[in-house]
Amino acid sequence: MIEHVVIVGGGTAGWLSAGMIAANKHKYSNSTPKITLIESPNIKTLGVGEGTWPSMRNTLQQIGINEREFIKSCNVSLKQGSQFKGWRDGSIQDSYYHPFITPPGYYECDLHTHWQSLAPEMPFADFVSVQSCVCDHKKAPKQFATPDYAGVTNYGYHLDASKFAELLKDHCTDKLNVNYICDDVIGVNTDDNNNITSLVLAKHDELHLDLVIDCSGMHSLLIDKHYGVEFQRCDDVLFNDSALATHLPYSDDNEQIESATVATAQEAGWTWDIGLQTRRGVGYTYSSRHSTDEQAEQVLRDYIRKTSNDRLAQSVDVRKISFTPGYRKQFWVKNCLAVGMSAGFFEPLEASALAMVELSLTMLTEEFPVDHNHMTMLSERFNNRFTYRWQRVVDFLKLHYLFNTRDEPYWVDARDDQSTPNSLKQLLQIWQYQAPNRHDLTQNEEVFPSASYQYVLYGLGFIPKVSKTLSLAQQQQAQRLFQQNRENQSRFIQALPGNRELVTHIKSKVA
């Protein structure tokens, strides 16, 4: 029986693990385990991931966190997707959206074919969705009276990662009875089958356990340092292995907040720009094979100068983060499960990091082990499922780079056929004849749905070899959907408040 679950490491991954496991205790067969989180006083959390997918709304609801309190406490703004600037040719007009909303009629009608025949000059996202227009106007995805976790359009969050971890910590310890220990793990004890039986701590008593979650980030204290699980490097596919990050104040307290993450292509990588309530989170992720740190810092400061002012560009402090893109070849070994950066990490494109944390915890809590025999079977299934999911993350992130015509060495190398996984090449061959659809993806809970592939593929200007011919009925249906979308764009712009207006209103209603 699983009587004690120990989580090693805090941060967002650690406290989400504690919250999800504790909040779902009622689901576990014959078990209501004690939950303990150990956090080292000597290791700072990375605190870079500031964007989520819409799935975070359900996660926070499960844990029992009030959305309005979350928005007030964590400097939250509402995110409706990503905007990509310069990823094709770098021209001023080079921009497309990957919104969170699934296009109306997506499963009933071939919207891509109708778009090609009716309005190929219009951005695909504009043709099939209201959300790119909503983001252009910096509108919120909900109205003042919309209930918690509900939306007029689909949305996730931009948040302060450090404040989010603190909110989760307070909620888990105060409301969910999670035990907290601030200490260093200095030793590991195992049984004859190499299951971890206890952890030796620097200042506290030995901690006995039945299941341990490794959320120790890049340190990978258990999955790597103890079990030595091999790391699958992916730097031959995704080149970015470095990042510079900083925080920027708004020039005006009433400045509108972006409703999407803005990802702008640069000479050896791309900059992210995330609007929170009181600041912007800005950074540059790049390839150390294509840029020196000094060159990268100049690129970031030039971006700040262009989007803010010269004073900030010269004075702001930046911090360097180095990482190896890839994932573990196993995530669950014996009674140790790696979640978060200890399991894998890539450049912060498309907010995949937190999405993978949520998927990992959802599977664990829905298939919580009864004992070690059960755990052996579950771990094999988990490892197979998440190897597939990490491979899909690699494919989807790589897709963003393939159709550029930029002439910098980084971008030339990024579109090289030799750096493209065979699994993605096979999909691209199929997509020459048909649009991405749910049959391309074999899992019930994919990291990225097929609609996301369409937004990116057609946003980048991909043109299939073969165009389908629509029947008259299909044409009429597609035309109705297009017209409805045009009408909704005008209606939503009028009815929705600005992103800043909404969060200001929400904060005023929280005691």
Contact between 344 and 432 under an 8 Å Cβ cutoff? The reply is no
Determine the average pLDDT of the residues in 170-179: 98
Q: Residue 501, SS3?
A: helix
Per-residue pLDDT band at 280 (split at 50, 70, 90): very high
Q: How many CA atoms lie within 13 A of 135 on its CB side?
A: 29
CATH of 4-50+160-235+326-392, one of 3.40.1160.10, 1.10.3720.10, 3.40.50.300, 3.50.50.60: 3.50.50.60
Q: What is the pLDDT of residue 337?
A: 99
Per-residue model confidence as pLDDT tens digits over 214-227: 999 999 999 999 99
Query: Distance (Å, rounded) from C-alpha 29 to C-alpha 328?
Result: 29
Of 255-264, 439-448, 465-474, the range with the lowest mean pLDDT is: 465-474
**Topology (CATH) of 242-322:** TATA-Binding Protein (3.30.310)
Determine the average pLDDT of the residues in 385-390: 97
pLDDT tops 60 at residue 49: no
pTM tops 0.75: yes
pLDDT tops 60 at residue 420: yes
Backbone angles phi, psi at 232, to 5 degrees: -85, 100
Q: How many CA atoms lie within 13 A of 72 on its CB side?
A: 14
Two domains, one topology: 4-50+160-235+326-392 and 242-322: no
Backbone CA torsion sign across 392, 397, 403, 408:
negative
Backbone CA torsion sign across 315, 316, 322, 325:
negative
Per-residue model confidence as pLDDT tens digits over 321-365: 999 999 999 999 999 999 999 999 999 999 999 999 999 999 999
Q: What is the pLDDT of residue 157?
A: 98
Domain locations in the chain?
4-50+160-235+326-392, 242-322
Residues 6+ apart with CB under 8 A from 198: 188, 189, 206, 207, 208, 209
Per-residue model confidence as pLDDT tens digits over 101-144: 999 888 888 888 888 888 888 999 999 999 999 999 999 999 99
Q: Which residue's structure tokens are 């870079």?
A: 48
Q: What is the pLDDT of residue 47?
A: 60
- pLDDT above 90: percentage of residues in the chain: 85
pLDDT tops 70 at residue 317: yes
